[in-house]
Amino acid sequence: MNEQHKWINANFYKLSLVRQSVQRNDTLTVLITGRLKYPFAQLVSRIVASQELDFDMVCLKPKEFQGTLEFKKAFLEELLQTYTEAEEIRVYDDRHKHVKEFREFFIAFNKRRMPDTIPPPFHKPLTVEVFQVTDIEAFLDPGIEITQVQRMINEQDAQSIQISAALNSQVGQS
């Protein structure tokens, strides 16, 4: 199986979202993952390359951060402090708890960005969309699944018979 097909899962929707984002000239496309830099950096790079994804940034969690959510929120805070002219942000995450936390994080961020002052602040509120993406579960046709399981059992049985025969021949020689 080639590298490109090895990493693809049943949820093509996520890949299409990334590809749409990458194609836009006015968009910064960032992959933020809770996977640690070591030992996952090379693996994440291979997965991204195998799908020909061209992120502007690929950010893995440094070991200084205990939790994934803590890292992602700190990263987003820094990103938005760097790109102060950003008008909107879309965040996609597969964890319900993280989606909820991101929504609360951005409400607080906008409150800090838009203090109740006169004259009004320079920045407009950041338009925020936080989406929960879920994997599409893929199931084999029951007939194919039974055939595959039976094939694995047969292979295991054949290996067991070979090992038993080899052990018996060694015992008989001693």
Tell me what pLDDT residue 137 has: 56
pLDDT in tens, 65-109: 989 999 999 999 999 999 888 888 999 898 899 999 999 999 999
Which of 39-48, 56-65, 98-107, 161-170 shows the lowest per-residue confidence on average (mean pLDDT)? 161-170
Tell me what the mean pLDDT of segment 55-64 comes to: 93
Do residue 78 and residue 127 come from a single domain?
yes
Examine the domain organization and report whether 117 and 83 are in the same domain.
yes
pLDDT band at 51 (very low <50, low <70, confident <90, very high): confident
d(CA 29, CA 19): 9
Same domain, 36 and 118: yes
0.75 surpassed by pTM: no
Per the structure, the count of domains in the chain is 2
**Greater pLDDT, 52 or 145:** 52
The answer on pLDDT for 13 being more than 50 is yes
Residue 57 is given by DSSP the state E
CA quadruple 60, 66, 68, 72: dihedral positive or negative?
negative
**Same structural domain, 125 and 151:** no
97, two tokens: 């708890």
Q: pLDDT tens digits for 110-169?
A: 888 876 665 655 667 888 999 888 765 556 667 777 887 888 788 888 888 888 777 777
- The boundaries of the domain holding residue 100 are 3-132
Indicate if 152 and 94 belong to the same structural domain: no
Are residues 42 and 90 located together in one domain of the fold?
A: yes
Long-range contacts of 79-86 (CB under 8 A, 24+ apart): 79/28, 79/30, 80/109, 80/126, 83/28, 84/123, 86/126
Is 11 a residue whose pLDDT tops 70?
no
